Amino acid sequence: MPSSDNLPAFLRRRLAGRETLRRVIGNSFWLFCDQILRMAAGLLVGVWMARHLGPENFGWLNYALATVGVVGSLTSLGIGPIVVRELVRAPTENVGWIGTALLLRAMGAAVGFLACVVLAARQSAPASSLVVIVAAGMILQIPDVADLLFQARGESKISAWVRMAACVLANLLKVALILAGAPLAAFAAAGVAELAVAAMGWWWAARRAGCPLSPWRAERGRIGALLRESWPLTISGFAISTQAYADQLVLGLMLGGEELGQYAAALRIVSVFAFVPMVVQTVAAPEITRAKRDNETLYQRRLHSLYRLMFGIFAITAVPLILFGPWATRLLYGASYAGAAALIPWLAFRLFFTNYGVARSIFITNEGLFRFALLTSVAGAVLNLALNLALVPHWGARGAIAASLASFALTIFGLEVFEPHARKNLRLMLRAIARPWRADATG
């Protein structure tokens, strides 16, 4: 975060003596910088790369990324939040916890890479070779456990700089590959190169922080404790990832790279706006948590206000996408992506569920409904996969969009009626949708 001396006078006065708040704002600033850089690079360089590759090759690249993403969500073991919690509780034991996390992540990455190789062997070119190349990045992500240390210490600036440096260098490499007319495999390797640069950054940052990365520091008791506690997070992460990538996997398997390329290009445009609710969540979550601690009525009022805001953000972003998104897509991607332009108005409705899903996570956390969230995630993933298999052969990419929207509706709204604690949250969400201009909310 910039020095407080450079802030406006009224902000300096409000932050005076409030070190915790200053740390939160500082961490948020660097996280936002990282996300904004990635969003800009992903849009500008990503669009240029898509034009260079063409819809079919771009589709197969996204298919490989989706395949590795689903496998990686399972083999990463979901240990991150637990390790961060333990590092906060016992900062003097960071070497043991980080060493244990490193060993588990290494074992998971090895299993994940082998699983991807087996999956690749059952597929035809170019998907098979691309999956293996992208899967190599799973090994290079092992040192990412250093990020857990900096999360626990509230030093997001270090993590942001590591990721931003890797992002800049990787995108410069992609630009060079585009100018050189490089083949498809080179762009898959460029993504792996970004992870390699980040890996070197994590090793350096961890050593500089006095916690060198070494799997030999792992402890048997901590391995068992982490695995016993993390399995629900592992399953939940796998379900969420499956729900997120099912459409791309089914499109690639059933209709090939051309259709997937059109879908992935449109999705990239829409995903740019998914950054907005994440920013709102980061700012709103502490205030809502404090309200839950102090006053139940105030807590529900703030949740209702958040849901109203999310509906407003959806309207502000979706309407321009529906009206101007097709034109902007044709302008950015060119005539070869005419199919992507036609998908934008339909994909814009995905932002509605993105916004409410992000806001709902605050309610889930404050109420401790993690098992319920696990069940809804699994149900949503199963429905999404089933509907994709049923609809994609007949409707193509539009069928994938319909499947995603239906599964998100089930996950975020439909299953709330079966959980007594979640019914009040469902009422708040529906009230915010039906009457977004009404600020009042009762229990």
For 341-396, write each residue's pLDDT tens digit. Answer: 999 999 999 999 999 998 898 888 778 787 888 899 899 999 999 999 999 999 99
- Among 218, 243, 271, identify where a domain stops: 218
Length of the chain: 443
Asked whether residue 164 falls in the same domain as residue 259, the answer is: no
Asked whether residue 292 falls in the same domain as residue 148, the answer is: no
Q: Domain of 418?
A: 231-443
- Does residue 226 lie in a domain region? no
- Does residue 174 lie in a domain region? yes
Nearest to 199 by CA among 102, 117, 291: 102
Q: Mean pLDDT over residues 182-188, rounded?
A: 93
Tens of pLDDT, residues 255-294 = 988 899 999 999 988 888 887 787 777 667 767 877 887 8
Identify the residue with better confidence: 324 or 153.
324
Please check whether residue 119 is in contact with residue 144, taking contact to mean a CB–CB distance below 8 angstroms: no
Asked whether residue 199 falls in the same domain as residue 277, the answer is: no
- Among 189, 218, 247, identify where a domain stops: 218
Token digits of residue 208: 């500089």
Quote the radius of gyration of the chain (alpha carbons, Å).
22
- Among 196, 218, 240, identify where a domain stops: 218
Asked whether residue 388 falls in the same domain as residue 431, the answer is: yes
- Does residue 266 lie in a domain region? yes
Asked whether residue 121 falls in the same domain as residue 27, the answer is: yes
Q: Tell me, what's the pLDDT at 131? A: 93
State yes or no: pLDDT of 21 exceeds 60: no
Asked whether residue 236 falls in the same domain as residue 95, the answer is: no
Q: Please state the domain count of the chain.
A: 2
Asked whether residue 132 falls in the same domain as residue 266, the answer is: no
- Does residue 293 lie in a domain region? yes
What does the mean pLDDT of the chain come to? 84
Asked whether residue 340 falls in the same domain as residue 197, the answer is: no
Q: Mean pLDDT over residues 81-109, rounded?
A: 82
Phi/psi for 58 (5° steps) reads: -65, -35
Q: Tell me, what's the pLDDT at 282? A: 66
Q: Tell me, what's the pLDDT at 16? A: 52
Beta-sheet strands, E only, within 42-159: none
- Does residue 134 lie in a domain region? yes
State yes or no: pLDDT of 403 exceeds 60: yes
Asked whether residue 46 falls in the same domain as residue 94, the answer is: yes
State yes or no: pLDDT of 207 exceeds 90: no
Residue 364, C-beta contacts closer than 8 angstroms, at least 6 positions apart: 370, 372, 373
Asked whether residue 214 falls in the same domain as residue 240, the answer is: no
Token digits of residue 52: 């260079």
Asked whether residue 319 falls in the same domain as residue 342, the answer is: yes
Q: Tell me, what's the pLDDT at 140? A: 92
With bands split at pLDDT 50, 70 and 90, how would you rate the model's confidence at 150? Answer: confident
- Does residue 339 lie in a domain region? yes
- Does residue 224 lie in a domain region? no
Q: Tell me, what's the pLDDT at 28? A: 66
Q: Tell me, what's the pLDDT at 22? A: 57
Asked whether residue 323 falls in the same domain as residue 429, the answer is: yes
- Does residue 223 lie in a domain region? no
Please check whether residue 400 is in contact with residue 263, taking contact to mean a CB–CB distance below 8 angstroms: yes
